[in-house]
Structure 1
Amino acid sequence: MEEVRSAIDAHMDQMADLVQKLTAELRSGLGPAYDNFLGFFHAIDWKEPWLMCLLSFHVVLLIVVVISRKNVNFQMCLFLLALGGVYFAESLNKILERNWKSFATQNYFDRYGVFLSVLWSGPLLVIAIIILVNTLLSLCYLIIKWKRAELKHRARLSHNKED
């Protein structure tokens, strides 16, 4: 019984320590994260042609998604392509890491893929979420339309039975 009590006390001490560390980090605020973001932002040469093409690609893809919001089949193709782009980001990062000298002034492609995750996968995931939300809204609208048609049909049937 004493062993169980000492194990529980050790677990409670560990949990209290974790809570103290978490509250200390929360009290420090978003300052360190903001500083890291600014460091990342200023380390990139945004005037490089390939980076401008990448950002333009994401803007054009977002415009295509917004324009084609009524075409669910096309949106699903875009959704799968966006998720495929995220899936192959690791392989793309390895290829770009080997060949960065042919298109960039500095090597942005570390082995962890942070740069590519932020500037390639991040926007693709945001676009995929937009497509997903649009699809869910379209499905909700379709269910409402279907239910209204069903209620009108039932009303006509009950009206015809009364006559």
Structure 2
Amino acid sequence: MRRVRERKKGERHIRTCQKNGRDRVSDDIKKSRLAVLSCHLTAGSSVMASEEEKALAAAPSDSPTIFDKIINKEIPATVVYEDDKVLAFRDIAPQAPTHILIIPKNKDGLTGLSKAEERHTEILGHLLYTAKLVAKQEGLEDGFRIVINDGPQGCQSVYHIHVHLLGGRQMNWPPG
């Protein structure tokens, strides 16, 4: 049975989801960041609505994204993998015990999957191959999920293509 509890005094997150009596927000997230998680809430909930609102408000632009700032080391991130083409780092609001974002270092106009052109095939393949390498490095031998959100209805909130690598628990179906 899923329970959603309100924040306790001193906690910095708004709401968190508990399954099997275990809190799904890590202690370091509670202490260091405002974490608003959807936790499989219904589409009418205020937490889910805020995530949808963020995605609907986001739009592709020529301005640097938060991911560009992470690549340029202007914003800190917990990097788990890096090569000359991609960067992989832990999500600050994880939706699973393991939640890693994999991004190309050079956006090259690839704001979302729907914007991909034939010239992007190599980097798209490299993103997926990197996801496989990182999954192995993270010990996800029993399986994992790959997600690419695209556009407003796909709940894309950062217009710099990125792959979500999720694992460390049994995933549910259907996902959305």
Give the TM interval when normalised to the shorter protein. under 0.3
Q: TM-score, normalised by structure 1?
A: 0.25
Which protein has the larger Cα radius of gyration, Structure 1 or Structure 2?
Answer: 1
Q: Is the strand fraction higher in 1 or 2?
A: 2
Q: TM-score, normalised by structure 2?
A: 0.24
Q: Is the helix fraction higher in 1 or 2?
A: 1
